[in-house]
A and B are shown apart, each in its own frame.
Chain A
Amino acid sequence: MEFKEVVGNRRSVRHFLPYKQVEREKIQVMLEAANRSSRSMNADYVKAIVVNRDELSEELRDSLRNPTTTLDLDMAPTYVMWFINLKYPEGTKERLKQLIDHGVNTPSHGWSHAYVDGVIQKTVIDKIAGDDFRLNWMGAIEAGQAIAQALLAAYDEGLGACLHNFSDTKIREALNVPDHWRRAWIMLVGYPAMGVEDGGQRPRRPLGENFYWGDADTPFESDPAVVARLTEAKLLQTPSPTPHRFEEIRLFNREFGLPD
């Protein structure tokens, strides 16, 4: 699938075919995509555990629920639990030196092993490691980048997914999650019950409300010709709700015995 169409197809799916399992190889594609995400200092910010819904006891599945994560856990056949690795500063110095050895960070730009040892370690890595807010803030952004790539990869593989908040009080012990893995999000993955369209692209504010050119007072002006090109390339698609959305939901509810 073309990149723009993948971006356009992505939307948070909450209605899955609960009986249609996700192929392990597709999960691997998602993890490989996450592993290729851009990251500062080439460090490892993210951890993920994949489990199939039906491999968890009902009690454990229930323990994941919270106010915004409910039936979703019953409908999605596969869960990817994402964590922020708060020990990411460890080994980062070596990874930076590796980038120098690989000709990625070069002397022309000031890079040398001595610079990493003498300057970067003290002024960057130690500062992050010693400041909880910075450590978490940076970890969250970096983990988010990886998660976003896995998410897009899922759609490229014809899957649907949704990120959710989850309660990790019981699951941590059950899955031997180390203390320094901070809970991020649970990604619920499966095949969308209502097709790729799934009710249409979710509403967004116009570009100019959040993006600017030159200064923060000058909203970015959207060019209709670009919009037309992106519509053609399917990055921009039919907005929600599609005409028969509520009928589809009703049918889905009837099929699985759910309230309207």
Chain B
Amino acid sequence: MSNDFTVDSLMPTAEVQRWLASAKLDNQPEIEQTSRVRLLADFCNARGESPTDMIARVLRGGEEDGQYEIAIKGRRELDAAIDAWGDDLGVTLHQNITAGNVLRSFFIHNGVQMQGRPSL
């Protein structure tokens, strides 16, 4: 657990800017943006790891044939970490899923393929 990451420190980063633009959030009211980046900051503090490092770690190995299984493993770990983080939020299951999906959205728009788990 760290307090290194804040909305202000993450907002100008290339990864966050890419996310907001790619998800078409950059023309949404500011609160739509900051509330999401706050969740990302919380997650980064819980893990003590920057978004850049997390992305680099799961993209390592690439997506080429043969490497794909390895890449899946890294992403599954990240996905599980998102779930665990959501469980600790002490909110309803619905809010938990929504918060987790904000983080998944961040990773997806930065090129990390995440298998969203649909509640069927």
Contact A259 B120 (CB under 8 A): no
Contact A75 B114 (CB under 8 A): no
Contact B108 A259 (CB under 8 A): yes
Contact B115 A18 (CB under 8 A): no
Interface of A is mostly: loop
A interface, how many residues as a size bin?
A: 10 to 19
Binding site for B on A (CB under 8 A): 18-19, 65-67, 70-71, 74-75, 167, 246, 253, 256-260
Q: Does B63 contact A (CB under 8 A)?
A: yes
Of the listed residues A65, A70, A258, A259, the one surrounded by the most CB atoms of chain B closer than 10 A to its CB is A259
In angstroms, Cα B63 to Cα A74, docked, is 21
Contact A260 B23 (CB under 8 A): yes
Size of the B side of the interface (Cβ < 8 Å), in residues, is 21
In angstroms, Cα B26 to Cα A94, docked, is 66
In angstroms, Cα B115 to Cα A75, docked, is 12
A256 with B72, Cβ < 8 A, contacts A65-B115, A70-B113 known? no
A71 with B118, Cβ < 8 A, contacts A258-B101, A260-B105 known? yes
Contact A259 B119 (CB under 8 A): no
In angstroms, Cα B115 to Cα A247, docked, is 21
Contact A259 B104 (CB under 8 A): yes
A246 contact from B24, B94, B97, B117, Cβ within 8 A: B24
Contact A257 B68 (CB under 8 A): no
Q: How far is the CB of B28 from chain A (nearest CB, A)?
A: 11
For B85-119 the 0/1 string (1 means CB < 8 A from A) is 00000000010011001101100100001111111
Of the listed residues B94, B115, B119, B120, the one surrounded by the most CB atoms of chain A closer than 10 A to its CB is B120
A257 with B105, Cβ < 8 A, contacts A67-B68, A67-B113 known? no
Known: A71-B116, A71-B118, A257-B98. 6 other contacts (CB 8 A): A18-B118, A74-B117, A257-B101, A258-B101, A259-B101, A260-B23
Contact A260 B68 (CB under 8 A): no
- Residues from chain A with a CB closer than 8 A to the CB of B24 are 246
